[in-house]
A and B are shown apart, each in its own frame.
Chain A
Amino acid sequence: MTKAAPNAAATEGAASSPAAPILSVRQVIKRFGQRPVLRGISLEVASGEFLTILGESGSGKTTLLRLIAGFEDVDSGEIWMRAERLDRIPAHRRQVNTVFQSYAIFPHLSVFENVAYGLRAKNTAKSEIPERVRQALAMVKMGEFAQAAPAKLSGGQQQRVALARALVNRPRVLLLDEPLSALDANLRRQMQVELKSLQREVGITFIFVTHDQEEAMALSDRVALLRAGLLEQVAPPRQIYGEPETAYAAQFIGQTNLLRADVKDGIASSGSIVWHTSGASGMATYSLRPECIRLSSESAGLPFADAATARFRGRVRNQAFGGAMDLIEIACGGPQIIRARIANPGILTGEREFEFTASHAVRVREGEPG
């Protein structure tokens, strides 16, 4: 094996670009027949990181995971683990383990033997196996089920066994392919919390695939948003939410209003909504989160209360009670409906005045990826 060539082309934009990546995916392309699934993916994963690959179905997220695991071969590009070229060695010799979407528990083996499977495969000392299996099962709170047959376990329990079976091998990187998608909502939330604390406990790098943006935000150190085989944005959840780079990212992660604005001399106007911006002149798209919109207390200074705040009038078209926050639909003259989330607004009717902090309208790129 040759040493890793120094990676001159750093991944673009990602704020917390890892210093010493444990895994690096370089310009990976994968086609199934004529259909391109991954169209040039470059991604670095730091040691101990919880990275989520987020995307719609068909975006290629599972394929990317399977390439790292070794179940598929790359068409071009490279995958490195530290100084080892991963994409050239077969799955069974890679120091990664996978938690499968449907668990893939061996039905003919007991829970104990399922967990011991990887240890036996690697010729771990016989005397060491029972203790390590016991520890792994205890870690996922399945200690008392060691002798059970998998068929007798519930989905959540099988999920835990699958996790123990992967972690017992102390992989450098753990791959999780939508592991929670088959669980019901309550169990799912509980498992999310456990998964996160488990990851902190063992300190293993997790690469987690999901289509659920809330799950991605709750769990991850960083989110890699995949769209039609290309990475749309790779950033920590707060950053990707607060400063989405593209309209797609803004819409996929959380709800947003997309404002198409004409920018001239530092002023953006989208219909009757006008605000200060530092962006260059021309047509541009801005993302404004619904919760960034507030009710104005006074009706002075339309459209600017000051340079930092933008105000606009609109007719309340609809108001839906949402517990902590109401969802309010505002018509501002044009065809566009602005959605706002406002805490305790009372019952709103007719024309009202709203405001938002100008810097909360984030300029985003539009259009196809790439």
Chain B
Amino acid sequence: MYSRAYKAGVTIPPLLWVTVFLLLPYAILFCYSFWSVSPAQVIVHNWNLQNYLQLARNPIYAQVLLRSMRIAASVTVFALLLGYPLAYYLSFHAAKRKDLLYQLVIIPLWASYLVRGYAWKTILGSDGVLNGFLQFLHITHKPVEFFLYSPFAVIITLTHIYTPFTLLPIYASLEHIPRNLVEASHDLGSSPWATFRRVILPLSLPGVLAGATFAFVLTLGDFLAPLLVGGPSGIMISNVVVSLFGAAYNWPLGAAISFCMMLLVVTLLFITERLEKRLAVS
């Protein structure tokens, strides 16, 4: 068996890392959420629930949160619609091209997030690629403004960025389906479509759930895409947090929002994990 020194050597550093750089900051954040800012812009440590009450009373926060969740849900749906067919094709029909196509899915992940964000800015902008193309074809006669700086732009950009994260777990779960189950289904008289519906889809659901969770949670916490392409109507909840910690200098309120978000995401992860376990059959 392994020596105590070895066990300590491999477990203590990561535990220490997580404690110092994750758990401790969360604890501090949690404390901040009960403090307040004095009129003189000083954080005072008088414990109260004002921040949480403000979140509940002022509808603007709920609205932004709701919009964020709508955007996250849209990105999730689009990422699934794009990711599942591609993952299916890769796993079942790509044959010799499988490795190449798989790499093509992975490569965008190597490009910087900012590069991909700016790329969409140049595509969607009023003198961007998309508008130029539409005008070239005489479909439109002047630049369409709402492509950029809208929730639409945020959804497109984030769908592009997070689709690989959705595709990979789906692909993994499809790869794990024994091929003789597909043959058995055909053998028992099921058409290819019925086989997909009754064997492949049910067995890939854990992957679908994992992929959807990735897309939803990552989008919900995203603040760069709204910053780059969102405009005022594309503001998401994380942008509110960023501004509260920055220009607005209201750390306690920012902390309260952050903590609510964290609770939401952890609850979500808890539920999806339970669901995944129930769907997964050994």
Do B281 and A98 have beta carbons less than 8 Å apart?
no
Q: Out of B181, B187, B194, B199, which one reaches A91, CB within 8 Å?
A: B187
Residue tally, chain B, CB below 8 Å to A: 21
Chain B, 170-192, CB within 8 A of any chain A CB: 178, 180-181, 183-192
Q: Out of A90, A91, A100, A149, which one reaches B281, CB within 8 Å?
A: A149
Ranked nearest first, the 3 interchain pairs of A and B with the lowest CB-CB distance are A118-B188, A121-B189, A104-B184
In the assembled complex, the CB of B92 is this many whole angstroms from the nearest CB of chain A, namely: 14
A121→B282 CA distance, assembly (Å): 24
In the assembled complex, the CB of A206 is this many whole angstroms from the nearest CB of chain B, namely: 15
In the assembled complex, the CB of B136 is this many whole angstroms from the nearest CB of chain A, namely: 46
Residues of A close to B281: CB separation below 8 A: 107-108, 149, 151
Tell me, yes or no, whether A169 is within 8 Å of chain B by CB: yes
Q: List 20 additional contacts besides A102-B178, A107-B282, A169-B189; criterion CB under 8 Å.
A: A70-B186, A70-B187, A90-B186, A92-B186, A92-B190, A93-B189, A98-B184, A98-B187, A100-B180, A100-B183, A108-B199, A108-B203, A117-B198, A118-B189, A122-B189, A149-B281, A151-B281, A151-B282, A166-B187, A169-B188
Chain A, 83-107, CB within 8 A of any chain B CB: 90-93, 96-98, 100, 102, 104, 106-107
Main secondary structure of the interface of B (DSSP, over half): helix
Tell me, yes or no, whether A227 is within 8 Å of chain B by CB: no
Residue tally, chain A, CB below 8 Å to B: 25
Do A121 and B190 have beta carbons less than 8 Å apart?
yes
Mark contacts of A59-70 with chain B using CB atoms, 8 A cut-off: 1 yes-contact digit, 0 otherwise.
000000000011
Q: Which residue of B lies closest to A66 (CB)?
A: B183
Do B282 and A92 have beta carbons less than 8 Å apart?
no
Given A92-B189, A98-B184, A100-B184, is A121 in contact with B194 using a C-beta cutoff of 8 Å?
yes
Tell me, yes or no, whether B202 is within 8 Å of chain A by CB: yes
Tell me, yes or no, whether A30 is within 8 Å of chain B by CB: no
Residues of B close to A69: CB separation below 8 A: 183, 187
Residues of A close to B184: CB separation below 8 A: 98, 100, 104, 106
Tell me, yes or no, whether A321 is within 8 Å of chain B by CB: no
Residues of B close to A91: CB separation below 8 A: 183, 186-187
In the assembled complex, the CB of B131 is this many whole angstroms from the nearest CB of chain A, namely: 48
Tell me, yes or no, whether A311 is within 8 Å of chain B by CB: no
Q: Out of B180, B185, B202, which one reaches A117, CB within 8 Å?
A: B185
Residues of B close to A149: CB separation below 8 A: 281
Q: Which residue of B lies closest to A92 (CB)?
A: B186
Q: Out of A90, A92, A102, A106, which one reaches B199, CB within 8 Å?
A: A106
A90→B180 CA distance, assembly (Å): 16
Q: Which residue of B lies closest to A101 (CB)?
A: B180
Q: Which residue of B lies closest to A70 (CB)?
A: B186
Chain A, 115-169, CB within 8 A of any chain B CB: 117-118, 121-122, 149, 151, 165-166, 169
Most buried by A among B187, B190, B191: B187
Do B188 and A121 have beta carbons less than 8 Å apart?
yes
Residues of B close to A96: CB separation below 8 A: 187
Q: Which residue of B lies closest to A97 (CB)?
A: B187
Q: Which residue of A lies closest to B182 (CB)?
A: A104
In the assembled complex, the CB of A173 is this many whole angstroms from the nearest CB of chain B, namely: 12
Residues of A close to B282: CB separation below 8 A: 107, 151
Q: Out of B178, B190, B192, B195, which one reaches A104, CB within 8 Å?
A: B178
Do B188 and A97 have beta carbons less than 8 Å apart?
yes
A149→B186 CA distance, assembly (Å): 22
In the assembled complex, the CB of B268 is this many whole angstroms from the nearest CB of chain A, namely: 24
Residues of B close to A102: CB separation below 8 A: 178, 180
Given A92-B189, A151-B281, is A106 in contact with B183 using a C-beta cutoff of 8 Å?
no
